[in-house]
Structure 1
Amino acid sequence: MAGCFITFEGGEGAGKSTQIERLKARLGQLGQSVLVTREPGGSPHAEEIRAFILGGHAKHLGPLAEALLFAAARIDHLDKTIGPALRGGTHVLCDRFADSTRAYQGSLGNIDKGLIDRLETVTLRGAKPDLTFILDLPAETGLSRARARQAGKGEGADRFEEEDISFHQSLRQAYLSIARAEPKRFVVINADQEPDEVEAAIWAALRERLPQVTDQAARPPDAA
């Protein structure tokens, strides 16, 4: 049985990493094989590209160049990490994927949708998430959380976190627009609440949208 591919999207400070780890733990307790990964990154070459992009070194090249770099990282990520895991029956939980390119470089970078579509076709080669959660909250709240996290770790803002508030407000609307265009794949979760409440909403949606994951998880380990 092939694994399911579940992605998490949303603005800065939405709590994606927290909820991914919670879902991994919950599925793991029920006997599931789960891999957590991220974009950009998730494979050695993709991590090198991640450092280059988030360090701001590609910003002066423009949104199209950034989109191409993300695509190059994504190809390696799919080949080296995501594809093998799914084929081996492991569920993959990914912090960001191709929808981030649609939101950041497509909608906010004003790259033509047709070009983004063609780039996605070449990059993904038919691969697509089974389910995508968008963790939605006001941009101001998300940025406040992100900055508190950075301060706690002694880190500075990355390439995208340093953008102004209007950028992040537009990003939120871009994600909601993407979700409306493909309601069968997307679930929008209110992330402006306590982590336990967010976790419960994610689990309820997973049970509804991908019962093969939760039903499989509910069976005893020795069930046929």
Structure 2
Amino acid sequence: MRRFALYAMAVAFVLCGCTQRKEAKPKAEYRAIDTIPMLIMQVQKCSRLYTAEYNIHKIVTYDDIVRLKGSVLKRDFNVKLPLGDRKIAIPMDATLKAYIDFEGFSERNIERRGNKITVILPDPKVALTSSKVDHKNTKEYVSFTRSHFTDAEMASFEQQGRASIIASIPRLGIIETARDNAARVLIPMIKQMGYAESDITIAFRKDFTERDISVLLDNSTVER
């Protein structure tokens, strides 16, 4: 698990209903016993915290070329036939939203050693909340010997575009943004309970890669 400390960060996100109370800094012994349940209760109030939103523009391209393949006198040939091309470029706009669900947040998400505290965030979720094809700017070239792209083919290309966007989630930086923005909410909350900012660490349980797409993706909101 990779951890990091965030320093001198201003609160840039709405605290989604989380309330803060100014309290006198308790003694270290009292804090170790009493502030953890209070922190858990405050974090759970946040419920689902949306931490990042990305607007993606992608152009899906498809090139369908008719080729003649075979062999003559044991020599293979592969020839592009003239006037047999079909090409299309489909612009797409999509919106990705990342959030962290704190509903199941508990003492298992908190590690404390002396005056230092680490909050291990629940796994982030990413939802493809919308996608739209720019039909007006779709470019299509079809030679007169070929048929135009069918509605079924167009729908398939659009689905491929959405799948490509989903596959690129770990490379977009949206997970890092989700962690940073969650820290901007949680660090001031923890400081209110008497911890120094330099003693607070916000982390995910692991670094997420393309293999974790099935874990990260919120399929309930993905458009079909």
Structure number having the greater strand percentage: 2
TM-score by length of 2: 0.29
TM-score by length of 1: 0.29
Structure number having the greater helix percentage: 1
